[in-house]
Amino acid sequence: MTQPEERGAKVRFPPPLVFLGALLLGLAVNQWVRPAPIGVARTVSIVVGVLLMLLALALVVSARILFSRTGQSPIPWKPTPELIFTGPYRFTRNPMYVGLTTFGIGLGLALNNLWISAFSLWALLIVHVIAVRPEEAYLAEKFGDGYRTYLTRVRRYL
């Protein structure tokens, strides 16, 4: 008798598309509804924005590299073979989502578009509901006390 194929978290929608939607919505609202400039010197917003985007990329890439090294898929509905406790996972349980949020905030700053930055935070809230909560339930069920101990040591976001 064969074992049924293991499934991952009960996530039904790709979280990166939520962040992409927030970015596109920010561009659209700024263009067709009402521009919302950041309100700081352009040089400052560009420099800070670019630095945030670079930090975000480093965070996402380092997490993705760890996934590859452990044979895991970043697709949340695929099974998780093991927990990762190194790299950015020492500081945040969700470095990819933190990175995508930070990237959006940085892009909004760099483009002088407050909408993009604001909608990036809303995207994280949506992803929290549609992905983070189901992922946490799945990992707690699969890994039990090891995961629950990790929850007490490392913050969900920052």
Range of the domain at 129: 15-73+95-153
Can you give the pLDDT at residue 1? 45
Question: Is there a domain that residue 102 lies in?
Answer: yes
Distance CA 111, CA 85 (A): 35
User: What was the pLDDT predicted at 2?
Assistant: 43
- Look at residue 110 and tell me if it is in a domain: yes
37 located within any domain: yes
Q: How many domains does the chain contain in total? A: 1
Cα 31 from Cα 130, distance rounded (Å): 29
Is 80 a domain residue? no
Q: Is residue 90 part of a domain?
A: no
Write down the pTM of the prediction: 0.94
In a domain, 87, yes or no: no
Residue 6 included in any domain = no
What is the chain's pLDDT, residue by residue, as a tens digit (158 residues)? 444 567 899 999 999 999 999 999 999 999 999 999 998 999 999 999 999 999 999 999 999 999 999 999 999 999 999 999 999 999 999 999 999 999 999 999 999 999 999 999 999 999 999 999 999 999 999 999 999 999 999 999 98
Q: What is the pLDDT of residue 6?
A: 78
Distance, CA of 23 to CA of 122 (rounded, Å): 11
Provide the β-strand partners of residue 92. Answer: 155
User: What secondary structure, in 3-state letters, does the chain show?
Assistant: CCCCCCCCCCCCCCHHHHHHHHHHHHHHHHHHCCCCCCCCCHHHHHHHHHHHHHHHHHHHHHHHHHHHHCCCCCCCCCCCCCCCCCHHHHCECCHHHHHHHHHHHHHHHHCCCHHHHHHHHHHHHHHHHHHHHHHHHHHHHHHCHHHHHHHHHCECCC
In a domain, 86, yes or no: no
Angle between helices 114-127 and 95-110 (to 10 degrees): 170
pLDDT of residue 129: 98
How far apart (Å, rounded) are the C-alpha atoms in residues 46 and 108? 9
Residue 155 has what pLDDT?
A: 97
